[in-house]
Amino acid sequence: MTERRSLPVLQDGDPGREPDCEAAATPPPGMSRRTFLRTAAAGAGLAALTACNVEEMLRKHLHQLSPEELQALLRRVERKNSERFGRAVTVSAEGPRPGVEFGYGLDLSRCVGCRRCVYACVKENNQSRRNPQIHWIKVLEMDKAHGVDLVHADAYYEAETVPRPGHFYMPVQCQQCRNPPCVKVCPTKATWKEEDGIVVIDSDWCIGCRCCMSACPYGARHFNWAEPQLPASELNPQTHLLGNRPRPKGVVEKCTFCIQRTRRGLYPACVEACPVGARKFGNLLDPESEIRKVMETKRVFVFKEELATQPHFYYFYAT
Amino acid sequence: MRRAFEFVAGCARLVTRGNRAYFAWLAVLGVAIAIGALGYAHQFRTGLIATNMRDQVSWAFYVGNFTFLVGVAAAAVLLVIPAYVYEWGPIKEVVILGELLAISAITMCLLFILVDMGRPDRFLHVIPLLGTPNWPRSLLTWDALVLNGYLALNLAVVLHILWKAYHGEHYSKRVVVPLVLLSIPAAVSIHTVTAFLYNGMASRPFWNASILAPRFLASAFCSGPAVMLVLFQVLRRYAGFPIKDEAIFKVAELMAYAMFVNLFLLGAELFKEYYSATEHLRYTQYLWSGLGEHRALVKYAWTSLACSVVAFVLFLVPRTRRSFVTLNLGCVLIWVGVYIEKGIGLIIPGMTPDTLGEIYEYTPTFTEWSIAAGIFGVGFLVFTLLVKIAVPILQGSFRARGAPAPDADPRAPLAASAH
Amino acid sequence: MTRLMSPRVLAALLVAIPGVARAATGAPPPAAPGARDELVEAEPPPFSPGIFPCSQCHEGTPNTERRELAFHDEIQARFRHDSEHRWCLDCHDAQNRDQLHLANGSPVKFTESYRLCGQCHGDKYRDWRVGVHGKRIGHWDGKKTYFLCVNCHDPHAPRFAALKPEPRPLRPEEMRR
């Protein structure tokens, strides 16, 4: 099983928040890095062309940051996004709660393929709207005659009304695997599995090599092929550093079980959007949670189980 | 310091002098590089959306070229084995040319990786100490390690031999031979690691086959040296570089055996897919016969096979192998065949249909073609310049001031250490 | 014509509105929640305006014979709930129209209509009590808002109407620069 790392458990409002000016005056760690950058042909040249600042380039991996450095990073990301969108953006780095392991249930006997979940997710998580259009949830229309069969699946169905006779619907999103192939192949440890089960991506560390996208069996990871098109009026300003904070061009993103909501105790946006109650979410370690009741009483299966990814995402039939 | 300046000045003189064909060649490369630079500027500005890669096919032309070129780099070892393991004299003098090819190929590999990255400005993240490489679990970190290691190895051997020759001295066998012998497993490792990169992905059944690593090696050994064979003939004609026919024909013979293995392994793979006929057959079908109206790759697959088979016959039959017309034809054919097989014939079918059964037909955009042309331009330029400098050094016409005069036999610095 | 649910409930279902729900009107929560969970009812049972209390019109001895009624024709027109075997007085109490009744005659308040549904739809009822059937919004680890059967299912025509789906995603070839 993959080793799990987590952020330090920070609650918003923790002491140690530095004002912006102090954070900016902190000297970068180590001169040798700067010297190297100056002489590294590719890196320096490209950096000059982009708008990235030196601070961002000299950043360490998230797990190597001290709490003060993490706070400085959060304030920096807040400031950049607030300037970019002209609205006050908050960036949280809330860590996982002890004794919590998220589980997600999707009732295939209920889903009608209305795609409300897809667009609720887009609004909540600040995806690029066009060029590229990024959806973290893909709803596959399948035939009842063939069952769960990807050869006959269609994500592009259009209909006056759903469900269409003879069809059923299977939404697919990140399965938050316990044995995630994406985490295994990432060359920079930009993606890892947190202790509450969510597989997260640090958008500021990802190099955009897309190994993870090749490795994911569920097509759950998506790439910012261009600068994300997110109108300021549609921004959700309450963000999490590893979740729905606006991503830059050239990095990978995916469903994070609405980490900015679920770590505060709320349901993910897709769970709340579903008009037929096909989505269940909760703490697998809590015997009274809906998801535990699902696991204990329903016929549950795992998508592409033979790949031994052991997802936290379960499909079931309530009836 | 002064000697280094003299050396650099000497090199500059060498590369700026030549016949019309040489400058025409440089001009062609220059144009290709300029086109590539413009293409990359566009891609850097707008993002990788300038390519036709999308979520459904997220690795394509750049990665395909990278895969092919790793094979070319590994193929230099095909010259090394007979030269040093079997102590076959006629090839020893040309080993260094193989290493120069390897250096150029690795340069192109690294450039293809760089242009494929979404955030090339963050390449430091994969370097130890400055970043956090996910070693040993991530195959890409292994690839970075062995590719750069192989580059360093080849650079070390080449620089040592050239440096010694520049000063009229014999190279030290104690330095060169172990490094050269080490380059055999190193060459095998670079392509094996690259194969494992794809092989290890359970999400892509087309790649998730144990046969991938042997296929990679076979196709590398049967195609990479083709460039060398053409180059040897060019050098013989224009630079007076003495290379025996035997050496050329021997390399061609070894390539023929590698071609056989390549075709055999392809056959083995096709049997498994078509006979077992599981849903995994769809990827193979997409490549060889298309799926429904999605047939974009079919003509390339059969072209590749035809080229590889014809090249195999040409190289196998001694009469056609020993005739330079058919030999050179075979070289071109095998390059085309393996370029298609390892490039779009490997990457695209691995991702089509995608993990959720969707078929997105990918073909490269003009931007991708221009960047690829630019990178090949850089690679061939590096190779041309290195050869332009190395050959006079080896022949003895480019020496340091005060170095011993060249012997009557232009192969002196190398022949002395051989046999 | 069947309806899915009232517009107010639809809005509540589609958007997260934690803490906006009103307290249950006299009915206990459907299941014993976990120590941390607090179950809050989203909506009281939906009534057409002015229709309740029923006794303001219904009084005297009722005619319990199954027939076509003069009033409530709008409900009759769309009635599809095992209509071959069931009619109004199988659920509505003939003696006291301000309540419903179970098969054995026991009265059931309108605010507890789920007990009545649960008679025939026992598996759904058991699932609903633990949150597996139906929907909950709010906090997965705390205050949750639950919905009555009748908030989603019109008891006279419970089957959901088909929905118009949201737009399909763009194909990769439709995303060009």
B280-304 residue pLDDT tens: 999 999 999 999 999 999 999 999 9
Weakest-pLDDT range from A120-134, B103-117, C41-55 = C41-55
Is the C-alpha dihedral spanning A29, A35, A41, A46 positive or negative? Answer: positive
In chain B (419 residues long), the average pLDDT of successive 10-residue segments reads 85 90 95 98 96 97 96 82 66 78 95 96 92 95 95 93 88 86 91 96 96 94 87 82 83 92 96 96 96 95 97 96 95 95 94 96 95 98 92 85 62 42
Cβ–Cβ < 8 Å for C146, C23: no
B122 in contact with A at a CB cutoff of 8 Å? yes
Look at B119 and A140 and tell me if their CB atoms are within 8 Å.
Answer: no
Is the C-alpha dihedral spanning C55, C60, C65, C71 positive or negative? Answer: negative
Structure tokens at A290: 């809906």
Structure tokens at A298: 């329903």
Q: What is the pLDDT of residues A175-195, one digit of tens each?
A: 999 999 999 999 999 999 999
Give the list of residues 6+ apart from residue B247 with CB closer than 8 angstroms, or none: B90, B91, B94, B232
DSSP string spanning A99-123? Answer: T--EEEEEETTT-----HHHHHHHH
Residue with tokens 């906090």: C139
Chain B residue with Cα closest to A253:
B55
How many CA atoms within 13 Å lie on the side-chain side of B376? 16
How high is the pLDDT of residue C67?
A: 85
Phi and psi torsions of C12, nearest 5°: -65, -35
Banded model confidence at residue C14, pLDDT cuts 50, 70, 90: very low
SS (H, E, C) chain B: CHHHHHHHHHHHHHHCCCCHHHHHHHHHHHHHHHHHHHHHHHHHHHCHHHCCCCCCCCCCHHHHHHHHHHHHHHHCHHHHHHHHHCCCHHHHCCHHHHHHHHHHHHHHHHHHHHHHCCCHHHHHHHCCCCCCCCCCCCHHHHHHHHHHHHHHHHHHHHHHHHHHHHCCCCCCHHHHHHHHHHHHHHHHHHHHHHHHHHHCCCCCCCCCCCCHHHHHHHHHHHHCHHHHHHHHHHHHHHCCCCCCHHHHHHHHHHHHHHHHHHHHHHHHHHHHHHHHCCCCHHHHHHHHCCECCECCCHHHHHHHHHHHHHHHHHHHCHHHHCCHHHHHHHHHHHHHHHHHHHCHHHHHHHHCCCCCCCCCCCCCCHHHHHHHHHHHHHHHHHHHHHHHHHHHHHHCCCCCCCCCCCCCCCCHHHHCCCC
How high is the pLDDT of residue C21?
A: 32
Distance CA B417, CA A307 (A): 55
Question: Taking 90 as the threshold, does the pLDDT of residue C45 lie above it?
Answer: no
How high is the pLDDT of residue C3?
A: 43
Name the nearest CA neighbour of A309 among A175, A195, A150: A175
Distance CA C83, CA A60 (A): 69
Distance CA A53, CA B391 (A): 46
Look at B56 and C172 and tell me if their CB atoms are within 8 Å.
Answer: yes
Distance CA A277, CA B96 (A): 69
The pairing of strands A299-301 and A313-317 is antiparallel
Distance CA C122, CA C105 (A): 18
Chain B residues close to C172, C-beta within 8 Å: 54-57, 360
A58 in contact with B at a CB cutoff of 8 Å? no
Burial class (CB within 10 angstroms; exposed 0-12, middle 13-18, buried 19+) of C22: exposed
What's the whole-number mean pLDDT along residues C32-38?
54
How high is the pLDDT of residue A17?
A: 35
- What is the average pLDDT score of chain C? 79
Helix (H, G, I), strand (E, B) or coil at A138: strand
CA distance readout (Å), B366 to B31, B263, B351, C14: 15, 32, 21, 44
How high is the pLDDT of residue C35?
A: 46
Q: How far is B40 from chain C (nearest CA, A)?
A: 15
Give the residue extent of every domain in chain B: 2-415
Banded model confidence at residue C24, pLDDT cuts 50, 70, 90: very low
Question: Taking 50 as the threshold, does the pLDDT of residue A85 lie above it?
Answer: yes
Burial class (CB within 10 angstroms; exposed 0-12, middle 13-18, buried 19+) of B86: exposed
How high is the pLDDT of residue B92?
A: 64
Q: Which residues of C touch chain B, with CB atoms under 8 Å apart?
A: 171-173, 175-177
Question: Taking 50 as the threshold, does the pLDDT of residue A14 lie above it?
Answer: no
Distance CA B387, CA B234 (A): 11
**What does R_g of chain C's alpha carbons equal in angstroms?**
19
How high is the pLDDT of residue C177?
A: 63
Banded model confidence at residue A306, pLDDT cuts 50, 70, 90: very high
Measure CB to CB from residue A156 to each of C13, C162, C171 and give the nearest one.
Answer: C171
Measure CB to CB from residue B47 to each of A36, A211, A226 and give the nearest one.
Answer: A226
Subunits with 3+ C-beta pairs closer than 8 A to C? A, B
Residue with tokens 């059923």: A168
Residue with tokens 């929560």: C29
Angle of the B281-288 helix axis to the B298-316 helix axis, nearest 10: 80
Look at C177 and B50 and tell me if their CB atoms are within 8 Å.
Answer: yes
Choose the mutation target among A184, A188, A201 for the interface with B, i.e. most B CBs under 10 Å: A188
Distance CA B26, CA B30 (A): 6
Cβ–Cβ < 8 Å for B376, B108: yes
Weakest-pLDDT range from A249-263, B88-102, B135-149, C66-80 = B88-102
Cβ–Cβ < 8 Å for B314, B330: yes
Look at C175 and A130 and tell me if their CB atoms are within 8 Å.
Answer: yes
Measure CB to CB from residue C169 to each of A133, A272, A297 and give the nearest one.
Answer: A133
How high is the pLDDT of residue C166?
A: 97
The yes or no reply on domain B2-415 and CATH 3.40.470.10 is no
Distance CA A254, CA A247 (A): 11
Give the residue extent of every domain in chain A: 20-92
Phi and psi torsions of B314, nearest 5°: -60, -40
Helix (H, G, I), strand (E, B) or coil at A281: strand
Phi and psi torsions of B68, nearest 5°: -60, -45
Look at A223 and B353 and tell me if their CB atoms are within 8 Å.
Answer: no
Question: Taking 50 as the threshold, does the pLDDT of residue A37 lie above it?
Answer: no
Cβ–Cβ < 8 Å for A215, B140: no
How high is the pLDDT of residue B84?
A: 66
Subunits with 3+ C-beta pairs closer than 8 A to B? A, C
Please name the helix (run of DSSP H) or strand (run of DSSP E) that holds residue A82, with its range, or none: helix A67-85
Cα end-to-end distance, chain B, whole Å: 36
Structure tokens at B303: 């072209």
CA distance readout (Å), A192 to A7, A122, C61, C117: 11, 23, 71, 46
Chain C residues close to B56, C-beta within 8 Å: 172
Name the nearest CA neighbour of A84 among A190, A227, A204, A255: A227
How high is the pLDDT of residue B6?
A: 87
Distance CA C131, CA C13 (A): 15
